[in-house]
Chain A
Amino acid sequence: MMYRSLFPRDVFAELDRLQREMQQAFDLSPSIRGVARGGFPAMNVGSTSKSVEIYAFAPGIDPASLDVQIEKGVLTIAGERHVEEMPEKAVMHIDERFAGRFRRIATLPDDIDPNAAEARYRNGMLHISIARKEAAQPRRITVQ
């Protein structure tokens, strides 16, 4: 796995992570789009019995420029991040932050309801919550 993490950490933490990922590699579902890491924005995905939660870490973006789409079970997050203007006669010492256009894609589970999606942008983070179809939600059956 050769990728550059968007948020690097110290060597010992890296080793911890590597070990954990080795374990996790066995229970990851093989997806045709792979588990793309290191892209912008960084993404976390979580799920409950009622919804799928997507967190995109996209700081400093005009919410109006964000384009979120769900089509045929695929979620697309696209947008553009503008660079701050350089003052005259300035020197750039460190240049690590992402700038420019971005697009990230995630495959969603089959049982989500694309009409019941909600997106919010706060603290530089885009949170998308997509409800699962009612029929797919677990139901308790009373025993007579």
Chain B
Amino acid sequence: MTDTTAVSKQAEPARETSLMPPVDVIEDAQGIILYADLPGVPKDKLDLHIEADTLTIEGEVQLETPDGMESTHAEVSLPRYRRVFTLSKELDTSKVAAEFNQGVLKLRIPKAEHLQPRKVEIKVS
């Protein structure tokens, strides 16, 4: 925890606990779109990684707190968000596009091209 993050009244235990950000997951023919709410996380404190078929979203909350501020009420009681997803095989993890704007992360994970649905014409003779 840095000086700028004082979201909790009491010191947290050494074990790294984190909050689970709410998400929306939408699937269309091209792939998956994931939205995640990570309010208070600056761009440089957002950490996204994909390892094998696991997608991890992590972010650190930074609040501007004046000197000597004492927290009196905290609903966001931990300065960290973390959520892990298992991706399925048909998704192309090499072509993930990410946008991060005002605390909202938008991820687009396309399906591998050869797996995208194609219309097959069947001629009836």
Specify which chain A residues have a CB less than 8 angstroms from the CB of B73 in the assembled complex.
Answer: 35, 43-45
Name which residue of chain A comes closest to B17, CB basis. Answer: A13
Contact A124 B63 (CB under 8 A): no
Chain A, interface residues (CB within 8 Å), range? 35 or more
Bitwise interface map of A from 43 to 86 toward B, beta carbon under 8 Å scored 1, else 0: 11111111101010111110000000000000000000000101
Q: Taking each of A49, A89, A92, A97, which has the highest tally of chain B beta carbons within 10 Å of its own beta carbon?
A: A97
Interface residue tally for chain B (C-beta within 8 Å): 49
Specify which chain B residues have a CB less than 8 angstroms from the CB of A133 in the assembled complex.
Answer: none
Contact A124 B69 (CB under 8 A): no
B contacts with A: majority SS: loop
Contact A97 B35 (CB under 8 A): yes
**Min distance, Cβ A128 to any Cβ of chain B, angstroms:** 12
Name which residue of chain B comes closest to A16, CB basis. Answer: B13
Contact B17 A124 (CB under 8 A): no
Contact A24 B20 (CB under 8 A): no
Bitwise interface map of A from 98 to 139 toward B, beta carbon under 8 Å scored 1, else 0: 100000000000000000000001011101010000000000
Q: Which of the 9-residue segments B3-11, B47-55, B89-97 touches chain A?
A: B3-11
**Min distance, Cβ A18 to any Cβ of chain B, angstroms:** 12
Q: Known contacts A7-B20, A10-B17, A47-B69: does B26 contact A86 (CB below 8 Å)?
A: yes
Bitwise interface map of B from 54 to 78 toward A, beta carbon under 8 Å scored 1, else 0: 0000000011111111111111111
> Given A51-B66, A53-B65, A124-B39, 18 other A-B contacts at CB below 8 A?
A6-B75, A9-B18, A38-B75, A41-B39, A42-B39, A42-B75, A46-B70, A47-B69, A48-B69, A50-B66, A53-B69, A59-B39, A60-B37, A84-B106, A90-B28, A91-B26, A93-B27, A124-B38
Residues of A with Cβ closer than 8 Å to B? Answer: 5-10, 12-13, 16-17, 20, 24, 35, 37-38, 41-51, 53, 55, 57-61, 84, 86-98, 121, 123-125, 127, 129
